[in-house]
Amino acid sequence: MAVTLTIHDDLPRFLAKPLRGKAIPPIRLERRTSIKDFLEALGIPHPEIHRLLVNGREQDFACPVGPDDRIEVFGLPLPTDPTLPTRLRPALPALRFAVDANVGKLAGLLRMTGFDTFFEPTMNDEALAEISRRERRILLTRDHTFLKRKKVVHGRLVRHHKPSEQLREVIELYGLRDRIEPFSRCLRCNDRLRKVTKEEIIDRLLPLTIKYYDDFRICPRCARLYWPGSHRERMLKIIKEL
Ligand SMILES: [Zn+2]
């Protein structure tokens, strides 16, 4: 008697190398365990799992593994919508992110494209996991052990190395292409920018900026100014690349 496992999508990447081939040899169950702990012991972080079938029936993470169960594991579909509840986790009220220090440039790009992104590079993993739980944010990281923390409910291991590809990856995974709002969020504070008239801030502008630009926004927290000549060129270039 042994557990038969079928791992779908790109989840085999999390298994130890000898198990990464298509057919995983049956696994003898050594002790009583939940399916969540069983799969994490094999290397698959729970936030990466979208659906579980045990002997053909949909189950949740708490389901105990039986000695001769047939288990099928599915990864997040493309696109995936975390604002809808699944058997495995509750829905998020909105799509917001908490970004690990190891993907810091991605945090800047997400803010640049208008997505609510918590980023505090000096924060330790435990505190960041707590923020993601309390503020109900999707945790993005390159560290798969981080994703195994209990506090992380919604999370994703960022696959790519290059920041612009990481941004594309996140936008495609969560189907965000139509929700990109460049020039809408402070790159430093994450606050939403508000429009200001040129007259309100004219004493902070250089003569050439006054001459050529009319569309200004300000961060309500840090008072940093944004206008087409400041960051917009770079934003538009990145968005065009997407
Ligand atoms: Zn700001």
Do 198 and 174 belong together in one domain? Answer: no
Asked if residue 189 is part of any domain, the answer here is: no
Do 170 and 122 belong together in one domain? Answer: yes
Q: Which residue segment(s) compose the domain that 25 sits in?
A: 4-75
Distance between Cα 230 and ligand 1 center (Å) = 14
Q: Which residues surround ligand 1, an ion (CB under 5 A)?
A: 186, 188-189, 219, 221-222, 224
**61-94 confidence digits (pLDDT tens):** 999 999 999 999 999 999 999 999 999 999 999 9
Residues of the chain with pLDDT > 70, as a percent, come to 98
Asked if residue 242 is part of any domain, the answer here is: no
93: preceding bond cis by omega (within 30 degrees) = no
Please count the structural domains in the chain.
3
**139-153 confidence digits (pLDDT tens):** 999 999 999 999 999
**123-137 confidence digits (pLDDT tens):** 999 999 999 999 999
Can you give the pLDDT at residue 47?
98
Distance between Cα 65 and ligand 1 center (Å) = 49
Can you give the pLDDT at residue 112?
92
Which of 212, 114, 214, 103 has the alpha carbon at shortest distance from 156? 103
Asked if residue 29 is part of any domain, the answer here is: yes
What is the pTM assigned to this prediction? 0.93
**31-41 confidence digits (pLDDT tens):** 999 999 999 99
Can you give the pLDDT at residue 97?
98
Asked if residue 68 is part of any domain, the answer here is: yes
Distance between Cα 222 and ligand 1 center (Å) = 4
pLDDT at 220 over 70: yes
Q: Give the HSE-up count for residue 64: Cα atoms under 13 Å, Cβ half-sphere.
A: 6
**The tokens of 108 are what?**
């800047």
> Average pLDDT, stretch 108-112?
94
Please count the helices (runs of H) and the strands (runs of E) in the chain.
Answer: 8, 11
Distance between Cα 79 and ligand 1 center (Å) = 31
Distance between Cα 195 and ligand 1 center (Å) = 13
Asked if residue 240 is part of any domain, the answer here is: no
pLDDT at 22 over 70: no
Do 113 and 44 belong together in one domain? Answer: no
Distance between Cα 31 and ligand 1 center (Å) = 52
